[in-house]
Amino acid sequence: MVKAVFPGSFDPPTFGHLDIIERARTIFERVLVVVAVNREKQYLFDADERVAFMRELVAPWPNVEVHTCDTLVVEFARQHACRVLLRGVRSVQDFSYEFELSILNKGVGPEIETFFMPTDQKFFVLRSSAIKELAAYGGDVSGMVPAVVAKALKAAYPRS
């Protein structure tokens, strides 16, 4: 019975994030989605909005919870008795970044194991930053993010 933490900015959540959560929830007893609140980072959607999106999107899945965290994610995992830190990987570039991060996290919390889950091929091009850019230019993002997010992106980038 292992619980996993799935941390991220989720600014905003995409179908790629949801695919990882949906697959992980059939493997782990519980999945704790952790919306990162990093004071150094500039987000389009504030923490409350990102949490609200996520809560709505994972509502059909009883073993998935949504939290926020402004500490080290390893600290959060420890406090919530989660053994696994889950990260999605789209590409070799993602992997090299995630691999280094996993080594850092292992140094801070040796009892927490990072698991990598490769993206589904349908979602490997989905990246929150690129989706925001597309939305800012009025592009159609409805195939990349859930309807609630697409609507919020439209509102965030009204076209004159």
Single residue of 30, 50, 87, 132 touching ligand ADP by CB under 6 A: 87
Q: List the one residue out of 28, 26, 6, 29 whose CA is nearest residue 16.
A: 6
Stretch that binds ligand ADP, among 7-15, 52-60, 131-139, 152-160 (CB under 6 A): 7-15
Residues between 27 and 66 with contacts to ligand ADP, criterion CB under 6 A: none
Task: Based on the shown chain and the rule CB under 6 A, indicate whether residue 90 belongs to the binding site for ligand ADP.
Answer: yes
Task: Based on the shown chain and the rule CB under 6 A, indicate whether residue 17 belongs to the binding site for ligand ADP.
Answer: yes
Helix (H, G, I), strand (E, B) or coil at 45: coil
Kindly state the smallest distance separating residue 86's Cβ from ligand ADP, in Å.
7
What is the spatial distance between Cα 30 and Cα 49, in angstroms, rounded to a whole number?
23
- Apex 8 CA angle, 65 and 120, nearest 5: 90
Instruction: Just list the catalytic residues.
Output: 17, 41, 90, 128
